[in-house]
Amino acid sequence: MQISENGLVLGMFINASLLRSHQDLLGRRRIFCCSESLRIGESESKFDKFDKVRAYVARAFEAIFKEREHNRIYVYSQAMGLLSYLDEHFSAPSDDNEASRDMQRRQRILEYIEGHYSEPITLEQISASEYLSPGFFSRYFHKTLGSTFTQYLKTVKLGHAYTELCNTGTSITKISLNNGFANTNSFIAAFKEAYGLTPRKYRKLHEGGGKSPDFIEYKVSGVFKPLAKHLDGSPAAGGIPESEAPVRVVDLAVDTRRACGALTQTWRRLLAVGWAKEALLAPVQEQIQRCQDEIGFEFLRFRGLLDDDMIVYREVEGKPHVEFSYVPSALARDSKVSFEHNSVISIPKDMDRRAELIRALLRHWINRYGFETAASWKYVILNGYLVYLGHFTMEEYADLYERTRDCVKALLPGAEFGGPGCDIGGLGVNRDWETFFEICRKRGCVPDFVILQCFHSDFHESAGDVSSASRTHEKAPLTLSHNPNYLRDRLRSLACVLRKTDIRNPRICLETWNSTM
């Protein structure tokens, strides 16, 4: 970026704690927003997008400059709106895995500092949390953030102390202790070095409506007039339309004296925890334990048991080497990956080898946990929704289901095996459900329980568009249904399919219930 000698730059600093609600901006995505990159003659819509970015900055600056009422919440809303707009129009997935991992490490370090700045944390402690030596960590931190660890930690402490100083009546001594300073004198010295005044004088000046000695005042009507032209008085400008839907208020009367039956707490049956690899992380296990302690659950559901990052299956000199891991890449017929976890979704190229892998896993669990425990679990395969996305046909899926079910039933006859995990919204679009149940009835492998997913979509989109989005890690373009009784109506449709295929009164397991992929 080039500016003239007397030019001014308006910068917006957004605290890292606010960015945590926008994980894409901190993780595997990059943002490029530079109006100088536009060429003369390009479409006006691209210029409009930059103007909407400027509008967010203009509204935030005006709120701070004029000190309008409730400006803190308003500025926060503009900052978050700006992040959302940048993510939607100027971001792309990072195709550099090494850079992505480095970004994740940086995020973990910064979050650790944000979460422990008030404690006497040391360079040795935080380097140990990343399994790095103190010397390597110190060099990495300075190279990555342009500051030493000690300087950055002091800046974070000062930032939180400044907020407390200006917005509370807490004593200077208490503020210094609340924000991790060893004593009051070290806080005063650091504050004066950063802001030019002692904390007490700065608070007095702030309470009196004064401004810092280093503050240079500019009038919006003057030097910032080019920015002010993007103000239009509309809090929703910049591409965020206000809802035009009328507000509907409904009064409900509840008779608390009436006797009722016991509440069926179905949520205690199943807890979904995402991917198998994540369930191995200590923080996730702590959350699972807390759910068990406070709510209680019977089954734990996760995906990706056979993913490559679980290191379940590898081939060495043509022989299977079973360790632990949709389908290991060494066994996959296709090499396409999907989702952020780069899962390989494919039919196995060798069903016999996969069957041996399943049997090896089952024997391991029986030896480790006991026959009765392993038989009490529920078993499924990857979900049938992937048929709709075009990864394989329903006939191929049903064959995979049957072969896997046979492995389980052979070693654990009493264990329950379910399927197919299709999205219930597809009932009115394709015959995946009917085809699956018809095959199962003919082959004598009807599922012990029916699993389903519910993305609350009427499936107007093409399967190709949705599948492409899942492979490139973009948001799947599913349109939400406007039916408030969506799940009830779809369950009734499922009941009709089950009756049609002569499957009587199966138990239903809703394994995924969400509006997104």
The three-class DSSP label of residue 379 is strand
Are 453 and 383 spatial neighbours (Cβ–Cβ below 8 Å)? yes
pLDDT in tens, 152-210: 899 889 988 988 888 888 888 899 889 988 888 889 989 988 888 888 888 888 775 55
Respond yes or no on whether the N-terminal peptide bond of residue 506 is cis (omega within 30° of 0). Answer: no
Side-chain half-sphere exposure of 256, counting CA atoms within 13 A: 0
Side-chain half-sphere exposure of 129, counting CA atoms within 13 A: 17
pLDDT value of position 315: 61
User: Which of 167, 169, 129 shows the shortest CA–CA distance to 149?
Assistant: 129
- Rounded CA-CA distance 120/132 in Å is 19
H helix or E strand, kind and range, residue 199: helix 199-207
Tokens of 362: 């089952």
Could you tell me which residues come within 8 angstroms of residue 186 by beta carbon, excluding any fewer than 6 positions away?
A: 176
Q: Is 179 buried (19+), middle (13-18) or exposed (0-12) by CB count in 10 A?
A: buried
Strand partners, 97: none
pLDDT value of position 110: 85
Length of the chain measured in residues: 517
CATH 3.20.20.80 residue ranges for the chain: 377-517
The CATH class, in words, for 377-517 is alpha beta
pLDDT in tens, 60-116: 877 776 655 556 778 888 888 888 888 888 877 665 566 667 777 888 888 888 888
Ranges of residues in the chain with a pLDDT under 70 are 1-6, 13-29, 36-47, 65-71, 93-100, 208-225, 232-247, 311-325, 337-341, 428, 459-478, 515-517
Single-letter amino acid code for the residue at 331: L
The three-class DSSP label of residue 245 is coil
pLDDT value of position 222: 56
Check: CATH 1.10.10.60 for 16-228? yes
CATH 1.10.10.60 residue ranges for the chain: 16-228
pLDDT value of position 90: 81
Prediction pTM value = 0.45
